[in-house]
Structure 1
Amino acid sequence: MAPLIAIALLLAIAIALVLVPFVRSVARTVGMVDSPDRKRKLQDESVALGGGIAVFAAVAITFAATILIDRQFFGQTLGVLSLRWYSLFGAAAAMLTVGLVDDTWGLRGRQKLLLQCLIIAGLVGSGTVIEKLSLFGLTLDLGVFSFPITMLWLLIAVNALNLIDGADGMATTAGSIICIGMGIAALHFGSYLSVVLAFGLAGAQLGFLRYNRPPASIYLGDAGSMMIGLFLGALAIWSNFKESAVLASAPIAILAIPLFDSSAAILRRWLTGRSIYVTDRGHLHHLLQLKFGKKGMLLVVALLCGITTTSSVLSLYWNAPWLAGIGVMVVLGLCINTRTFGHAETRLLVNRFVNFAQSFTLNPKTCLTMKQQRRVPLQGVGQWETVWEPLVEFAKTHDLARVKIDLNLAWLHEGYHANWQSVRMPDRAHQLCVSLPLFTHRLGNGKNAIQIGRLDVVALAIDADAYQKIADLSDQLMDLTPEIDRIVSRLESVRPQAPAPVTLPVEQVSDVPESVVNA
């Protein structure tokens, strides 16, 4: 089997090295490029997209060529190519197509999610179904939940790889190490075709990494990252046992880094009240790049993926399922305790849990008067307390039920979240809910403004002065605008990058900010 592994790995690298420059040239010619916008895409110049095409072609050619070589020279060691393999490559090609449409013309988040679900449903319908979960020695038959669990797992895998693909070389560095781990796991269980696919996919990404490492000249795009994620999700199911669909702890642990990043992103957005589709700069690669630089970020990612992959593989060969969990906990502990990644999300979660637990220990009278507050700097060094504290004082003096501020200055890698509220909130029917946008003025000419977050307010709707309180709060926000501008100006001087171009004329924000009121 070793010669076939070497053939798959080296052949995929060679094909990718040849195909990537060609795809890059075509992408630039047709205008399929990723242009900087100074908000989310902070590269200095436009970079070609479509790298996923080269990776997919390299994998498909390598897979077919390795099978032919096996039949010609190795006596069909790999066995028979069943229908599920054609279904997998068809689904991967469909996922690649959806990604190309998104990269070229753009899709709404819900549109992309719907298309992902349809493609995955087709793959699940063809026979790729998780029948059992085997976690740390315990096996659970899923029964009627097999189909929804499989759908959910593949969706998670597809989007986990997509979410970490936000820095040069990030997805391909993590993906290649994960694929090698999957290949070794499949080898242990005798799933030889999965071994070939895993090492072929690893080789294709390593070849692509030659052009994707900092400074990248081509990106995978959504097309490539979603396609790779689908392959990895299926391999996690297929690589465990030769003829049974079992999702075990080792493959899940191998995928720990992308799963950790995507879980933290979802948790961060849910706990702060943001949309799940909102742009921020709080992903693992963003924080690592700030701390270690572009090349240092890749080294740290390789180290973290190496730890989880090695511990997972050893757990298989030593028959010690707990070892995979130990590796994951070591990596998560390092990231959180060093405040490299996940620390802010952990604080948000702990604060929410503490407030919830505390509510069970208070008597009814105390609940009517007691307030809870949490402040979490999500990212950056901005002194946002000078904005937040006057708002809390206003809420106290005007007897508001809640004020919540959420700031997201993605182009400055800055985020802040704070919440002050009554332990016992008014009934929903008696709540006046207002959401006010927060602005800063663009530096330089002072004629434009950009939105940096929102202030959410809850007042007692049956209060006769409720409208006046909201009007007074709007005036308070106008008074705080110079302080907001001062903080942003200081941050700009520390990290000089042009602010996001999505601006509004200053006349539109000089009056009371428009709000959405739900009584």
Structure 2
Amino acid sequence: MLYVTLLLCFVLSVIFTPFVKKLAFAIGATDRPNQRKVHQKIMPRLGGLAIYLSFIIGYFVLRPENENSFFILLGSLIIIAVGVLDDVYELPAKVKFLGQLAAAFIVVVLAGVQVTFINLPFGGQLEFGFLSIPISILWIVGITNAINLIDGLDGLAAGVSSIALITISGMALSKGDMFVASLGLIILGSTLGFLIYNFHPAKIFMGDTGALFLGYMISVLSLLGFKNVTFISFIVPVLILGVPISDTFFAIIRRIAKKQPLSAPDKSHLHHCLLRLGYSHRQTVLIIYGMSAAFGLIAVILSQAAMWVSMIILVVVLLILELIAEKIGLVDANYRPILKFFRVIRYANGKHN
């Protein structure tokens, strides 16, 4: 029944998206080109509504049982309302943030979906205590915005979200967590149906309606699936979402370094950097898909590996991430501490020889 519902959500999304496209033009939910945008013509941007409607129908067909269902759906309704209003009226950042906080509050405080402790790598336990609530809310709001930030190219956010959903759902199935697996797979089906219209050249954008909804649901599913476990299992959802999280992290560093507000838009995100290096629109999206799949594979390996192997893999992954960021100028063209360090060592060795 689960896989039949996944297929149903896919078909519904394929059917709904053209109607949502017409609705977007009718109510003015469109995206106009500017110096920061990659597209060159007016585009409808309410596509996330098709994903949401397909998901809701799939949910009520499948009816996965969990005591948190009502609160998760209530939070998603708030997120969708904020997204639709933003796609039509372009809400101020503060209003969107308040909507995200409200949705996160419902799940974390009212439903009690929280990370309360983690088992440390080499023994002992770290109790979060009163910090459980703010940490869990920060996770939901942070991931919600991280997915929104990478929504800059045709099919990018939908594809990266789909890869994350495949990983989360697959790991949930392996653990016997049917609620997380069920939600993950029906969202996956809904997103893949929309991706048919959203992949380059896109006929419709998901807009904030889609990006915020996917970010919210992925953050909640990862909280449900990986809470109160070992340190490595705590790291697993971070790795699954490695691309949006690292892009957001370097964006924060970049804006702090340039003394800009954290909410200031720019054209220095991962996809912008790859485009500047000469990759085509489609090539850039496929490269980031590949990176997301690699992160997902590493997350699966880490969940099965011995502790010392996991720690080595983590260090290597962080080093590679930093080198990529320096090489493509993700923070700044002159930000290259490790590359400069290697250059100094090479120069010293050459001089010595």
Q: Does the 8 Å CA contact 2:268/2:330 hold for their aligned counterparts?
A: no
Higher relative contact order (CA 8 A, sep 6+): 2
Q: 1:88-487, aligned counterparts within 5 Å?
A: 88-126=72-110, 127-133=112-118, 139-240=125-226, 248-290=234-276, 291-318=278-305, 321-322=310-311, 325=314, 328-329=317-318, 332-333=321-322, 335-336=324-325, 339-340=327-328, 342=330, 344=332, 347=335
**Percent of pairs with identical residues:** 26
Q: Paired residues, what number? A: 332
- CA deviations over 1:296-344 (Å, ceiling 9, x no partner): 011101110111101111222345543762674365156236x235362
The change in CA–CA distance for 1:229 and 1:208 in structure 2 (over 3 A counts) is same
How big is the shift at 1:224?
A: 1.1
Which amino acid in structure 2 is aligned with residue 116 of structure 1? Q
The change in CA–CA distance for 1:245 and 1:159 in structure 2 (over 3 A counts) is farther
Which amino acid in structure 1 is aligned with residue 335 of structure 2? R
Q: Secondary structure at the match of 1:130?
A: coil
Q: Does the 8 Å CA contact 2:10/2:191 hold for their aligned counterparts?
A: yes
Higher strand share: 1
Gaps in structure 1 of 5+ consecutive residues = 68-77, 351-519
Q: Does the 8 Å CA contact 1:336/1:342 hold for their aligned counterparts?
A: yes
Q: Which of 2, 16, 21 does residue 19 from structure 1 map onto?
A: 16
TM-score w.r.t. structure 1 length? 0.60
The change in CA–CA distance for 1:345 and 1:332 in structure 2 (over 3 A counts) is farther
Give the corresponding residue for 1:463: none
The change in CA–CA distance for 1:319 and 1:186 in structure 2 (over 3 A counts) is farther
- CA deviations over 1:155-196 (Å, ceiling 9, x no partner): 111110011111111101111001111111212322111001
Higher helix share: 2
- CA deviations over 1:15-44 (Å, ceiling 9, x no partner): 21111111111111222111112x222422
Q: Distance in 2 between matches of 1:182 and 1:324?
A: 20
Larger-gyration structure (1/2): 1
Q: Distance in 2 between matches of 1:163 and 1:13?
A: 25
Q: Is it true that 1:86 corresponds to 2:70 in the alignment?
A: yes
Calculate the aligned-residue CA RMSD, in Å. Answer: 2.5
Q: 1:489-500, aligned counterparts within 5 Å?
A: none
Give the corresponding residue for 1:468: none
TM-score w.r.t. structure 2 length? 0.86
Q: 1:498-513, aligned counterparts within 5 Å?
A: none
Q: Secondary structure at the match of 1:282?
A: coil
Which amino acid in structure 1 is aligned with residue 29 of structure 2? M
Q: Secondary structure at the match of 1:133?
A: strand
Q: Does the 8 Å CA contact 2:38/2:152 hold for their aligned counterparts?
A: no
Which amino acid in structure 1 is aligned with residue 324 of structure 2? C
Q: Distance in 2 between matches of 1:340 and 1:348?
A: 10
Give the corresponding residue for 1:425: none
Q: Is it true that 1:36 corresponds to 2:33 in the alignment?
A: yes
- CA deviations over 1:264-314 (Å, ceiling 9, x no partner): 111101111112222210001112233311110111011101111011112
- CA deviations over 1:174-227 (Å, ceiling 9, x no partner): 110011111112123221110011122222221111111111111111121111
The change in CA–CA distance for 1:111 and 1:179 in structure 2 (over 3 A counts) is same
